[in-house]
Amino acid sequence: MSRWTNTKEQVLTAALELYRMGLNSGLSGNISVKIDGEQELIAITPSGKHYATLSIEDILIIDHYGDTIEGTLSPSSESLVHMSIYKARTDVRCIIHAHPIYATAAAVANLEIPPIIDEMVIAIGGSIQVAQYTFPSTQELADNTVIALANRNAALLRNHGIVVTGSNLNRAINNCELSERVAQVFLLSHSLGKAMELPKNIVKIESEIYSMQQQLHMDGKD
């Protein structure tokens, strides 16, 4: 039995849940978890494996160079994005890259989603910005994603999809689901003429709540 069985089970369960929810389909998207107590090791989904056929043996353990520590398949083709976010954000423990319909539509339209719903600011940290396009699976895409994400929990990847983060897998899944719902509301309201942003003073207060929550997550007090 692998010493990382518990973490691999968590990644597998999350991958199947996202597939069930329709946030990822077929071979699209990827999920990773930073392993507690290990020196920069990551559990991550494989490349080229259909979600419906995933098993615990398919989840890989890689190091911060992208080298495989455990597993026989190739790690996700977007491993560079995951590794770069973990290096830039000490508060992030889990990352989901997904291709849900509405968030991807906003990404294809190159539309930043402004703060339009209270829970969006409190959970995600504000607007969902767009990482500029570059070829998939490259360090340039990873760098652009880190810039667009900044200190928030979601960023769109232009002509590609969305990346969301969290302090654990449940929060990352919730942030992914919330981001897709926000994208749907934004595009619908945008099509009706205008998406009204929250008042700036409310965004400031809710951003402060977000920052406090992030610190609690880091301190393990949530």
Q: For this structure, is 40 an active site residue?
A: no
Q: 83-113 in b/e burial notation, b at 16+ Cβ within 10 A?
A: bbbbebbeebbbbbbbbbebbbebbeeebeb
Q: Which tokens is 115 given?
A: 């703060």
Catalytic, out of 17, 78, 180, 206: 78
Q: Count of alpha carbons within 13 Å of 89, Cβ hemisphere only?
A: 30
Tokens of 122: 């409190």
- What are the residues whose beta carbons fall under 8 Å from the beta carbon of 82, sequence distance 6 or more? 30, 32, 42, 44, 76, 95, 97
* 3-class state of residue 184 by DSSP: helix
Q: Is 26 exposed, middle or buried (0-12, 13-18, 19+ CB in 10 A)?
A: exposed
DSSP letters spanning 74-111: PB-TTHHHHHHHHHH-TT--EEEEE--HHHHHHHHTT-
The count of other CB atoms within 10 Å of the CB of residue 63 is 14
Half-sphere exposure (CA, 13 Å, Cβ side) for 185?
16
* Pairing relationship of beta strands 68-70 and 94-98 according to DSSP bridges: unpaired
Catalytic residues: 78
